[in-house]
Structure 1
Amino acid sequence: MDITDEIEFDDILDDWFIESLKTYKDLHVYQLEHPTRVIEWTSGKTVCVAGCRSTKNEILELHLPLKLFADENKGLCAERDFKVVHGGFTDGPVHCLRHVPGTRCVVTNDGLSSKLQVWDLGGDDSDVIRRTGGVEGRGVAERGSRIAAGLSSDPRVLHGAQTGDVRLTDLTSGQSLYKLETDTAEPLSSLQFVSDSVFLACCCSGNIYVADSRTSAAPQPSPLPPPLPPAAAARRDGVLWCADASADRSRPDPAGRGVARLSSSGEVLVSDLRNPGGAVCRAQLDVQTDRCGQDDITVSWAPALDDCIAVSGFSGAVQIYVTSAWRAELTEARPLFEHRGHAVSSQHADGPPVRVSSHVWHPDRPRTLLSAATDGSVHVWDWVHPTAAD
């Protein structure tokens, strides 16, 4: 980078910093030694991250900056940085990681096989994260297994690489408690519990299975709703899909919750969980689609905000959209808010443009998110609603 480029980069960074004073309530930055594809809450103030290189990687539990949680006099809070509270090493990459609620246990997959690794995060008497066991997978897993932890404190996980491989396994005994009965072998993009026994399995094709682990009845796949207008069908050729179901805490029953399906072409379909084959609304997002795949993209519902989703993986930004403004016909949507911090801060770096590799909403704080990028940066940010920033 020559002196002219450095001056231009500094100007861009300064402009964004000044802008951030109005658009963020909080913004904290942390730098990992290597990038992570996973961010998983282990409590309301701690997250687990892990490297995704092909060789040995760190697996860390980080405490978020204490300043983030100071209700008043934030300027008087001395602790403004992330803190490593527990750490360890894994011999391979970590492409999927899930925390088992009510325990100090996480389960990982390397993205290369169907096997799972089980880890003890440590406690007050130890700061070391140790591997304590494993779970054998089933079938072929070219892209690794997807994992979902049960919503109860029972130490069990749902896992599988394809629809015909999905199992519910008890981590204490290693016993298989349930098998998804289907003759298909569609590659999975995600698994997610929506209640203690009901789960959602999204296929890369966009097909969705809603299954109940209490019954052996085979669920029927819900395919993608037809494109509107029909001319938009060409946009779906060769695209891959991921999905997320909303976490409506006012509904103990999952019925009536929304399911958002996101494609690698930037299309979002929102369905009712009672009718996942239909479309309540849909939109074409304002995203870059020329260099992303299904493993890159993520869509997630806000747990404490109505009708909000976050989308990442298309670029170095995380975008927030409000689905309540969308209609049944396909329309172009603009984000309500866009976190560009990863892209802005890495513009001076050589190599390919930075891309957001993972993001998660805080479970209780409505507008607080964490995001990680391919340059190893991790941000926690609390965005200000645009109308409140005026």
Structure 2
Amino acid sequence: MEEDALKEDELDDWLIESIKLNCLACYSFLSGTVICTCLSSRKPHKSLNGLGRKGLCPERDFKVVHGGFSDRPISCLKHIRGTRILVSSGPPDSSLQLWQIGADDSDVIKPLHCIHNKEHTKKWSRIATSASGSPCVLHGSEVKDIQVTDLESKKAIYSLDTDNADSVSSLELLSKDEFLLCSGRGHLWLVDMRQPGSLATPCTVLPQGEGLHWCMGIRNRLSESDAASSRVARLSSSGHVLVTDMRDARSPLCQAKLNLSCESSDYNIMTVTWAPAFDDCLAVSGFNGKVHIYNTKSWIPAFTEEEPLFIHKGHAIAEGPDDWRSAVVTTHVWHPWKPRTLLSAATNGSLHVWDWIDQKMES
């Protein structure tokens, strides 16, 4: 009984701490069965929510409007802008699954087609989707099987001519003609699809290190014409961050060592993203049950240890009555126009919508 009471006290402490950290809303999904969902939110009412604060409430401001079931795990899920099509990938192979979001008279997400890479592998594919032009998807699990597939014809319209078998960690379509590729080893390639499909030498140099895995995040651009000036942050599994301007990719603009305790062995969930409304802020997750916010404005070209502006700890909660290990954050995303609002999800099936503050300025 005393042990149960202690756990209840710890849960109460977590809730209070989460409220202090401005956790605005939380929505939990069933873990186990993979569910494709679309969340709809509306502008919150000016009245106070159940916590006595202005903000978002899960029952009032969020609603599951479309859903469906997949017979395989979903590791990556993207929406094709301007359509009702979703694209997903996940084990046990590199193929893609296309989904149709139901019309206004249906709340069901239905499977449509399957797209296969030019080389079948047992690694699931990374995905990037087009923001303009005809609907297409950039995908691949290894550098040598990267291709762009037109979704209407289901045919490959571009592929790389290389035997490079490095794993792909991140893909980004910069424009209708260019895309950026980051390998698990941290090399960056800027590919112009108007040129022959051969892959040139990586355009950046990395610090030496064995056993490291890398991913990338690209700062939002004002328009496609700014593609060449993209600023890229690369994050390693050892907590190093390198920021590169693609106009001069030979050396980083700045870099830092982040003090991150690693509680996950899954490098695939490492995530680094730039804030859309703050030029120098980025968020990092995938190491533990937290999301860290950093300001890169004061970072320098040499490695220095940097402390976060803010840490969201809300996912670090028990997964069950007898399980008090911390959940691990699997992904996060910034709100497109609310500069201090993020969404994050974790291995315990929780989805958090939260605001952050600059704790240094508040102290």
Structure 2 equivalent of residue 72 of structure 1: 46
Change (3 A) 1:169 1:331: same
Any residues of structure 2 matched to 1:77-92 within 5 Å, and which?
79-80=59-60, 82-92=62-72
The secondary structure found in structure 2 opposite 1:274 is helix
* Structure 1 residues 174-204: Cα deviation after superposition (integer angstroms, max 9, x where no partner): 1211112333121101111122321111100
Is 1:29 the counterpart of 2:9? The answer is no
How many percent of aligned residue pairs carry the same amino acid?
Answer: 41
Q: 2:84 aligns with which of 65, 81, 104?
A: 104
Q: 1:57 aligns with which of 18, 21, 34?
A: 34
Query: How far apart, CA to CA, are the structure 2 residues paired with 1:350 and 1:221?
Result: 48
Is 1:263 the counterpart of 2:236? The answer is yes
Is 1:244 the counterpart of 2:224? The answer is no
Structure 1 equivalent of residue 2 of structure 2: 3
Query: What letter matches 1:327 in structure 2?
Result: I
Query: What letter matches 1:164 in structure 2?
Result: K
The root-mean-square deviation of aligned C-alpha atoms, in Å, is 2.5
After TM superposition, what 4+ stretches of structure 1 lie above 6 angstroms from structure 2? Answer: none
Structure 1 equivalent of residue 289 of structure 2: 316
Q: Please say if residues 12 and 344 of structure 1, whose CA atoms lie closer than 8 Å, have aligned partners that are also in contact.
A: no
Query: How far apart, CA to CA, are the structure 2 residues paired with 1:239 and 1:133?
Result: 36
* Structure 1 residues 24-56: Cα deviation after superposition (integer angstroms, max 9, x where no partner): 2x510111101xxxxxxxxxxxxxxxxxx5xx5
Worse overlay, 241-250 or 345-354: 345-354
Q: Please say if residues 220 and 276 of structure 2, whose CA atoms lie closer than 8 Å, have aligned partners that are also in contact.
A: yes
Query: How far apart, CA to CA, are the structure 1 residues paired with 2:267 and 2:28?
Result: 25
Query: What letter matches 2:82 in structure 1?
Result: G
Q: Which runs of 5+ in 1 are unaligned?
A: 35-52, 228-232
Scaled by the length of structure 1, what TM-score is found? 0.84
Query: What letter matches 2:36 in structure 1?
Result: I
Scaled by the length of structure 2, what TM-score is found? 0.90
Structure 2 equivalent of residue 282 of structure 1: 255
Query: How far apart, CA to CA, are the structure 2 residues paired with 1:375 and 1:339?
Result: 16
Query: How far apart, CA to CA, are the structure 1 residues paired with 2:322 and 2:313?
Result: 15
Change (3 A) 1:112 1:224: farther
Deviation of the 1:11 alpha carbon: 4.2
Deviation of the 1:389 alpha carbon: 4.4
Query: What letter matches 2:155 in structure 1?
Result: Q
Change (3 A) 1:159 1:226: closer
Query: How far apart, CA to CA, are the structure 2 residues paired with 1:287 and 1:135?
Result: 37
Q: Which runs of 5+ in 2 are unaligned?
A: none
Deviation of the 1:72 alpha carbon: 3.4
Structure 1 equivalent of residue 75 of structure 2: 95
Change (3 A) 1:22 1:57: closer
Any residues of structure 2 matched to 1:149-228 within 5 Å, and which?
149-152=129-132, 154-216=134-196, 218-222=198-202, 225-227=205-207
* Structure 1 residues 300-358: Cα deviation after superposition (integer angstroms, max 9, x where no partner): 11122211111111000011111112111111111111110000465965175311111
Structure 2 equivalent of residue 129 of structure 1: 109
Figure out how many residues of one structure are paired with residues of the other and give that number. 357
Deviation of the 1:97 alpha carbon: 1.1
Q: Please say if residues 369 and 380 of structure 1, whose CA atoms lie closer than 8 Å, have aligned partners that are also in contact.
A: yes
Q: Please say if residues 158 and 193 of structure 2, whose CA atoms lie closer than 8 Å, have aligned partners that are also in contact.
A: yes
Query: What letter matches 1:289 in structure 2?
Result: C
